[in-house]
Chains A and B, each alone.
Chain A
């Protein structure tokens, strides 16, 4: 206990720098502090996005106008989407846990470019501020949906320019993070740590970083073109001047489909770290997991057209995109089988992070299978642009990233703060969140099948029952979230200190004190022939 207390005193959380308090944090190039800066900003933005989501669900509690006009509903789902996609799930795991853990996992003192790392957080904040400006000032809140589809995005009178520019800046922040991680993994692994000794989470960060790097510029230039279209009328996406709005959709999804793999790969990586610890076994199928990660990252590039099956493309293109979409399911399934096999005959230690990881697999599979329904050409036509898509998307993205994020924060919390949370309340938070989640999104599958379109503020009377259930679920989910956040905040302030390795984890980050000292390692560790990635003692 005494030792744990002194570890907290000597850690990155306390060590005085040139500046104290808030300034000390926002000028720090320590990867651990930057990770926490991201954690606090992303959690704040998630809370804002969640409030908007609750407002939308409240509007849908009864047919007709309940809370807001149709236009306000459009603005609400646009802002909800922009916040949740660009500010929460895309930076989510890489920016928070990638920053915090990557150097610890590979035995480095920091990332390759610490100052660029801090710069990328400033870009993030700048993007957030610009989008908030779009919300609060000017002629009206953007109402195009988070996809900014042409030609409406340059025809609408609302405040699009700051929103587009904000999304562009957020993309830049994402690129810099990815660039940093690639160079870090290439250049800064501890001596003896070959590629086949990298933990899975580092591997998934590597795959994600490449997608961030190679896909984000495409959406960047596309957004610039929309902005120029608004300002000068260059005509590239404007059918009145000979431009083609479908081309916009292609360019948008060339980024935005790989973007869901930016979100999901590190989520899978975190789960791959958590399950072995609590199954008390080595990770099953390490190499298969690496290959499937790279396969997802690669094939994920080639499937963007499945967002546009009804937008007008040739039959051949439709078949090709549908086939490629199905291909992604194979490496995803390999991952699920590997996680299950890791648990098989393990002595499972039922703790909060394991509950989150296990429920991640559950919701991820429902999200994945419903994705195949959307990837099939015939069924796609039936459920295109309905609640079914919304349910699928939230199961896979919110279910995937959200659950994995929760698993990760409950797993690495003692590493980050050196303190433990109250697992009783953490479990109550989990069950509320899970029950709320399932009752929020499952009815939308049914509603979509029955023909309720998405992005409408109104619906036919026969959809009333399922919508009530869905709205009710949103309240339970929000309650769960509040319980979780309060529990964690209380623990970060005054939870009981724990030793360096409360879960008996076997990866390198658990070999340093909790919380880690500023320099991470007193001496850079040397990885032996038979060490790692899952057998450090």
Chain B
């Protein structure tokens, strides 16, 4: 059987793996889509409270993180171009830059969350129950869930990029066969585009 499985793996169809990734991205979009529906329902029900709570978020850190993610999307896209040209060294450098940017994003996020926590703003906090309206509690509940879920996706994306870098190093990914790299890139763009929607919804609309 082992032999025949080798035969299975030799069947190489980059188109199939890309379709697979796109289908997976659809599921991710629906996952966040449900969250966006919940957000819009509660925003519609509590416009004032969402306005007030939104002003408490740090727009500067949010904007910096947006730029970081956009740049990281660019570097991972460039890494695909680099592998097409057969430049393994440049591919690895660009992937490493993407990874570092992802890490910086998470560090920023950590400080942002940390400052909220130190002000007593977190789900289930007594301080919020005493001082905030229901709409504001909902806003911060959604803020932590949605940015938290997004951060989990960043972590998964970082894992994917590390896996890709290992395979590039092992020469499993090369000029002729780079579907894993392309798929990591697709996934990273998804993580990016979700943030592109989260940023205005939480930080900008007042």
Contact = CB atoms under 8 A, between A and B. Distances in A.
Interface stretch (B18-26, B55-63, B83-91, B155-163): B18-26
A256 B151 CA distance: 28
A213 B23 CA distance: 8
Query: Size class of B's contact patch?
Result: 35 or more
Interface stretch (B28-36, B95-103, B112-120, B197-205): B28-36
B141 A241 contact: yes
A41 interface: no
B178 interface: no
Given A217-B30, A234-B145, A242 B137 contact: yes
Contact of A222 (B8, B34, B149): B34
Contact of B35 (A28, A110, A112, A221): A221
Q: Name, among B46, B124, B149, the residue most crowded by chain A CB atoms within 10 Å (CB to CB).
A: B124
Contacts of A213: 23, 26-27
Interface in B12-55: 13, 15-17, 19-20, 23-24, 26-28, 30-35, 37-38, 41-42, 45-46
Query: Size class of A's contact patch?
Result: 35 or more
B26 A214 contact: yes
B31 A18 contact: no
Interface stretch (A83-91, A178-186, A449-457): A178-186
A187 B13 CA distance: 8
Contact of B141 (A16, A24, A234, A247): A234
Interface in A133-186: 175, 179-180, 182-183, 186
A150 B186 CA distance: 36
Contact of B8 (A110, A180, A224): A110
State the main secondary structure of chain A at its contact with B. Answer: helix
A251 interface: yes
Contact of A217 (B7, B11, B31, B123): B31
A225 B24 CA distance: 21
B131 interface: no
A242 B138 contact: yes
Interface string A222-259: 10110010001111100001111001000100100000
Given A187-B13, A242-B46, A218 B31 contact: yes
Interface string A110-121: 101110100000
A217 B141 contact: no
A518 interface: yes
A17 to B, nearest CB: 3
A215 B26 CA distance: 10
A234 B149 CA distance: 14
A28 B1 contact: yes
Given A236-B142, A247-B38, A241 B134 contact: yes
B2 interface: yes
Interface in A95-144: 109-110, 112-114, 116
A236 B141 contact: yes
A179 B20 contact: yes
Given A114-B8, A187-B15, A217 B142 contact: no
A175 B20 CA distance: 11
Q: Name, among A175, A218, A251, the residue most crowded by chain B CB atoms within 10 Å (CB to CB).
A: A218
A225 B134 contact: no
B4 interface: yes
A217 B34 contact: yes
Contacts of B17: 113
A295 to B, nearest CB: 21
Given A182-B23, A242-B135, A112 B145 contact: no
B4 A214 contact: no
Contacts of B134: 235, 241-242
A519 interface: yes
A35 to B, nearest CB: 16
Contacts of B142: 234, 236
B145 A15 contact: no
Interface in B131-152: 133-135, 137-138, 141-142, 144-145, 149
A135 B138 CA distance: 32
A183 B23 contact: yes
Nearest to A232: B123
Contact of B137 (A15, A112, A188, A235): A235
A17 B20 contact: no
A114 B4 CA distance: 12
B150 to A, nearest CB: 12
A59 interface: no
B23 A30 contact: no
Contacts of B35: 221
Contacts of B8: 29, 109-110, 114
A480 interface: no
A311 B7 CA distance: 55
Contacts of A188: 16
Given A29-B8, A217-B34, A251-B34, A236 B145 contact: yes
Given A232-B123, A242-B46, A242-B133, 6 more contacts: A109-B8, A112-B16, A214-B30, A217-B30, A218-B34, A242-B134
5 contacts: A112-B13, A179-B20, A217-B27, A228-B145, A241-B141
Interface of A: 15-18, 24, 28-30, 109-110, 112-114, 116, 175, 179-180, 182-183, 186-188, 213-218, 220-222, 224-225, 228, 232-236, 241-244, 247, 251, 254, 518-519
The 9 closest A-B pairs by CB, nearest first: A242-B134, A17-B1, A234-B141, A233-B124, A232-B123, A217-B31, A217-B30, A187-B16, A234-B123
